Amino acid sequence: MQGRSKSYEKLIGTFQAARDLVVGSGFPQLGGITFQVGCPAVEQYHRESPRGYMHVLHVPNVICVAAAAEDLGRQTLLGLWLHEFGHVLGGPEQWDADEWVFRNIKLEGHPVPIRYDERDLQFVEL
Ligand SMILES: [Zn+2]
Ligand SMILES: [Zn+2]
């Protein structure tokens, strides 16, 4: 990676895809959620817990993401974003967030299950 600034193209693209999927599944009230890079609390969280990249509801209607998440794969980012959307209406527990996604998010009528890879990171097969 050259230079000091990052463009976060992958974060932007996958976030928009995840939010479109949530809204399209019948949750327009979540369409106003945005994300921010640079929250000191989420950067500290990621340093202390390397598999932690995001948190939600620290700032209303904002998902905070660690800058290092730009280097993750597309399916992983989609899984992470959907998991965070799941926290908004599903509750604070990890299982509740994933369960909310499984019950409510549909792509062409089919559920989108959140899976976990060998690093214990969420991903979806999209
Ligand atoms: Zn934050
Ligand atoms: Zn979570």
Ligand nearest to the CA of 90: 2
Distance 6 CA to ligand 2 centre (A): 25
Please give the Cα distance from 117 to 126 (Å, whole number): 15
User: CA 17: distance to chain centroid?
Assistant: 11
Beta-bridged to residue 34, according to DSSP, are 62
- The pLDDT-based confidence of 4 (bands split at 50, 70, 90) is low
Residue 74, pLDDT > 60, answer yes
Distance 65 CA to ligand 1 centre (A): 7
Written in H, E and C, the secondary structure of the chain is: CCCCCCCCHHHHHHHHHHHHHHHHCCCHHHCCCEEEECCHHHHHHHHHCCCCCEEEEEECCEEEECHHHHHCCHHHHHHHHHHHHHHHHHCCCHHHHHHHHHHHCEECCEECCCEECCCCCEECCC
Ligand nearest to the CA of 66: 1
Ligand nearest to the CA of 57: 1
The pLDDT score that the predictor gives to residue 7 is 87
pTM: 0.94
Least confident of 9-13, 42-46, 107-111, 113-117: 107-111
Q: Which domains does the chain have, with CATH numbers?
A: 9-123 (3.30.2010)
Distance 84 CA to ligand 2 centre (A): 6
Which amino acid type is present at position 91? G
Distance 108 CA to ligand 1 centre (A): 33
Tell me the per-residue pLDDT of 105-117, one tens digit each, with 9 for 90 and over: 999 999 999 999 9
Residue 82 and residue 20 in contact, taking contact as beta carbons nearer than 8 Å: no
The pLDDT score that the predictor gives to residue 6 is 72
- The pLDDT-based confidence of 3 (bands split at 50, 70, 90) is very low
Average pLDDT of the chain is 94
